[in-house]
Each structure stands twice: as C-alpha cells, then as structure tokens.
Amino acid sequence: MATALAVSELFVATNLFADSVTVQSPDGKIAVALDVNDGSLFYSISKQDEAIVAPSKVEIFAGATMAMVDQSIRQNDSVWQPTWGQFSSIRDHHRELTLSLTADNIPVQLVCRVFDTGVGFRFVLSEKSAGKRMTFSTQYKVLGGAAYYSGQRGASFTSPSKTKKISVPLVTERSDGTHVALLESDLYSAAGLESMRIRFAKNEKAIVATSSAVSSGGGQLTPWRVILIGETAGDLTVNTVALNLAAPCKLADPQWIQPGKGLWDWRIHGYNNGDFVYGINTRSYLHLIDFCAEQGLEYLTVDDHWFKSADDGKMVVSPEVDIEKVMSYAKEKGVMIMLYYDRKKGNFGDETLFHHYAQLDAAGMKYGFMGNKAGFTRNAIDEAAANKLLINFHDGPVPMSGVERTMPNMITREYCHGQQDSRSAFTPETFLKMAMVSALTGPLDMSNGNFGINSINAGEREKGPKKKNSYISTVVSEVARNLVIYTGLVTLPDAPEEYLKKADLFEFLKAMPATWDDSRVLNSKIGNYITVARRSGDVWYVASVNDQSDRTLDVPLDFLDSGKSYEATLYLDAADSHGVKNPEAYEIKTATVKHDDVISATMAVGGGHAMILRPTETK
C-alpha cells in the first residue's frame, strides 16, 4: 500500500505571466518548457541544456486556439510501497506544474510532472467541456535518433518516417547513447479513452500520439503522456516514472494478492513422460498439481479447451476434464489454479463470469482474445478484483502502463511474444528487444524456462516450433530469462520430467522469488545483451542473456554490501554449449565473492549466465 513519508509544496508565480514557462526536475538536470505560439501549445525537453525533444505541439481539442491563464508549481517528495513488483518501496520525487488554459474559451488544465528520469503530462477538463469531442494529440520531435524500437515485440527500424506501424512504447536510441521512451500511464483512470495510437505524420514531420473520446465534463482525465530518459536501455526498464504517475492502489486490502511461480499445461501437450502422454484431461492436471506441490510452485495455469463452450451463464466442460475434481485436488495440495477463458467460444456474460470462476475456487483468470480495448479491460480488472481474482490478459492486450500499482490483481499480461507463440519468429534477439522495449509497459507473461530444448526442437510437443530445430536457446539462458523479465506470475512452460532431469539447475527457479526489494540493470544493449540484478532480503539474484554471438560481459558486484562475503552459486553455459548445436549443456560452480569483485559472464551463442549471491555468516 502507498504511504507518503514526506511531501512539500511550493507555489510560485500564480499571477498572470508571459506565454512561456519552464519547470525543472528536482535535480535540476531535466527542464520542460511550455509556451503558446500563434494559439498553439508547445512543449520541449532538455537535459543539462541539451535538447532532447524539440518544440512539439500538444492539443486537447483538434485545432482549438489555446491561451494561458495562470500557473502554479509544487514539489513532491514521498515514498510508497507497491503490493508487488521490482521494488519494495518507490520514491516519488517530482516538480509539478499546473497550467490553467483555455482551448477555444473552454477552461482546461495541463498538469506536467518532471522527475529526474522523465516527464509526464495530462489534461484535466472542466464542466464546460462536457459533450465535446476530445482529441488528445501530442507531437514527439525527438532529436538525435539513431535507432528506433516499438511495440509488443520490440520491432526495430531506422526512421519513424519509413515504417508503416509504430506501437506503444516507442524507444529512441540517440546517437549519443541516450535512450528516450514514449508511452503513457494511468490509462485506467482515463475513462472513455483508449490506448494512444502512434504514427508518423508527414505533414507535421513528427511522431504523433493521439487518443479521442467525448468529454464527460468536470474532472475528466486524459492518460499521462510519458517521456522516459535514460543513459542506457537498461535504465528505462527499472524507471519508476510510469508507476509514480499511475493512481495509487484502489483496493482496500490487497493482501490476498500473491505473486508467485507456476506450471502451464499448454506447451507440453503431446509430451510422453514414459507413463502417459500429456493432454487436456484430468490425469494430466492432477500430475501437474502434484509436481507444483512437491516443488513449492504456487500456481498451475490450465489453458484453453478445458471447456468447450460458454453461453448465457452456462459452461460446457470438456468430457475429459473433471473440473471439480481438479479444483478440489489443487486446494487440498495448496496449489492455486489460473483458469483460461476464451471469448471466441461464446459469451458467458461478464456480469456473472468472474463470480463463476470464483465459485470454482480459481485463483485467477487467464483472459484470451479480449483485444486492445481499454474500457473492456478496466471493467475486467474491476470485476476480477471484486471477486478476488488475479487476471492475466493474453492475445494482444492493452498496454495499460502502471495499472499494477492501481489494481495489483492485474498480475501479468502477454504484451510480448510468448516463447513458441507464432513459432517461426522467436529468437534470442527477439527476447532481448522485448526485455528492453515491450517490458516498459509493465509485467510480461513470456513463459520462459524450457529445459527440454532438444525435445522441443525434435517436434515432441504438439505446440512446439513449426520448423524443427528452430528454437534457439540454452538451458542457462532459459533460467536467466525468468529473472530478466518482470512479472507477478512466473509461468514455466515445460514438462515436470524435464525439470527433474536438471534438478540442480531447476533449484535457481525454485529459489527465485516473484517480487523484489530492489532491481538494477548492469549491462544492456537492445537486441544484443542484458544483465539484471534483483534483491530479495539480503540475497541477490543476477542473470545475463546473450544474442547469437559468443560474448563475455563484466558483471561488477559493487551493489553488494561492503565488508561482507557472499557465497555465489554460478549457473553457467558449459564450454561446449551452443544455442543451436548443444543447448542443454551447463555447469554449476560455487565461489566466494565480495563487493569489489567483477564476475566474467561468459555466454554461448543464444546463451546465458545466472548467479545467486547469499551473504555468508560472520563469526
């Protein structure tokens, strides 16, 4: 829950003023200038006097004449505690400028918050705007762009003017190495508005983001348009600006929400474990529940086809599935079940759907084919929370950044390219793009952690790669990817038997938490490599993931407490590991390390590197 520790306010320049104003970040390095020119409102952003975003137009009503009326500035410095996430506490330190404006004589406010690592601004509408069509339009004239990445799968391009599709988020890597990300936050609170659409407008020679709706009048909010600024791509993945801009938690008592890890049945259908072949049936689910209980995994996700149709409040369950027995057995074993729901199979009726899943004793719902519909998503999150259900959105969901602060029952979503989904396209490079682009929108359900890579590549799964021997990874990379990706529900996609064959390697995933006290990115280059360190209590978990090059990364351990020794368990690609030729070779070693040590993370093609660092007892 959020707890404000300290808030200070400073109101200045509340009299009428010239048509320009500047507000700086608390550290004074980032400055946002706003001014009205020929009836249009413009903003620009600089960092340490170097221009980042050139003067760019902002509108709330298309073509409206804007005029400034008044301004006030306040400063906030507080700390709040997320229900779960990459940090156990987050500092919200910003300066906030509130501009009172008129747009075609309709009073509106623009609120601009400037943090040390980014900027957000949104409109607040007046009663006089009721019934008027809003078009919240924002130009982004980002300077110095050398490479661009966007969307659910981290698509890359050299120029926004030469690509037909730009999706949220848009990341610009400047020629000086600075990374700038464009996205939005608190769409949840902006009733009536959908996710912003991004395009390159040739007539404006600018990237433009827009979203439209009819104003409901006084208090109507737009989402925050967000610009993140980092020295590296990794800086953006642990940036907390979007979370700070999101509305505080609306749940009175979110303690029932439990982040965790679990198995998933979908990708192991057709796998022969020597006793039976996994499929959509009661026996398979009971076997998976047993494994979760034995290994300390909190969840099992039961995916599609456990029911055949759902209409008018009635669900026809597949004859091979005794869902009551499965749910009862899971409860007896202490395993929570996430149950899939597919809107393409009928219309159960959303007013009773979530209550029905709660009555089945489901812990949550994996919601498929709901689409990029913000209003629908808001309602689903709210109805799930009212029934104390987690929700995991799939199949092209809304990139509703920051919502896990406001409604932490939104535990994860597939705003990414899940492993083996659209199975011709997943590569180490794709993973690394999504980890540093798609992940900026929030937690991702990517289903990393395949251990039987040879079995997958041999076609021994019904839903494995379309082309044999096309899945490129090493088992150590699979472990490392689960630490790199931030999610409240770690979904492991492989068969229990494959994890038991490599039980010593599986220990990393068993030990790894799903929520953290601290997170840092030590190395990063989009599409090439990443190193992430996360802390739970006094134990650090560190993971690196590589592209299809042989690579060694220096991993400095200066985040460790000075003066302490740590026992390091190292999970390594073997000397002969190779993401294509020998993906399942690995080694495990131990060492004693300290604050001033540097670990050389040597990785194979498509490989990885992982560590658990535990402080040793002092005598």
pLDDT tens digits along 392-404: 999 989 999 999 9
d(CA 438, CA 168): 8
Q: Where in the chain is the domain with CATH 2.70.98.10?
A: 20-245
Give residue 14's pLDDT: 32
Q: In what order do the strands lie in the sheet with 155-157?
A: 66-80, 90-103, 106-115, 118-125, 224-230, 179-185, 170-174, 145-150, 155-157
d(CA 123, CA 273): 57
> 343-349: long-range contacts at Cβ-Cβ below 8 A with a sequence spacing of 24 or more?
343/368, 343/369, 343/370, 344/368, 344/369, 345/307, 345/308, 345/309, 345/310, 346/309, 346/310, 346/311, 347/310, 347/311, 347/312, 348/310, 348/311, 348/312, 348/313, 348/314, 348/315, 349/312, 349/313
Band (439; pLDDT cuts 50, 70, 90): very high
Lowest mean pLDDT among 237-246, 278-287, 312-321: 312-321
Give residue 494's pLDDT: 97
d(CA 187, CA 396): 16
d(CA 305, CA 437): 32
Give residue 529's pLDDT: 98
Asked if residue 17 has pLDDT above 50, the reply is: no
pLDDT tens digits along 365-377: 999 988 889 999 9
Give residue 523's pLDDT: 98
Q: Where in the chain is the domain with CATH 3.20.20.70?
A: 271-391
- CATH class belonging to 20-245: mainly beta
- Helix H or strand E encompassing 164: none
Across the range 574-600, mean pLDDT stands at 98
Q: Which residue has the higher pLDDT, 3 or 224?
A: 224
Asked if residue 547 has pLDDT above 90, the reply is: yes
Q: At what angle do helices 323-333 and 282-295 cross, to 10 degrees?
A: 10
Across the range 512-523, mean pLDDT stands at 98
Give residue 31's pLDDT: 98
Give residue 426's pLDDT: 76
Domain topology for 271-391: TIM Barrel (3.20.20)
Q: Using H for helix, E for strand and C for coil, what is the string for 325-351?
A: HHHHHHHHHCCEEEEEEEHHHCCCCHH
Band (603; pLDDT cuts 50, 70, 90): very high
Give residue 617's pLDDT: 74
**Percent of the chain at pLDDT above 90?**
88
Average pLDDT over the chain, rounded to an integer: 94
Residue 196, CB-side half-sphere exposure with 13 Å CA sphere: 31
Give residue 467's pLDDT: 82
Across the range 10-21, mean pLDDT stands at 47
Q: Which residue has the higher pLDDT, 152 or 130?
A: 130
Give residue 6's pLDDT: 39
Give residue 422's pLDDT: 53
Write down the pTM of the prediction: 0.95
Give residue 264's pLDDT: 98
pLDDT tens digits along 321-336: 999 999 999 999 999 9
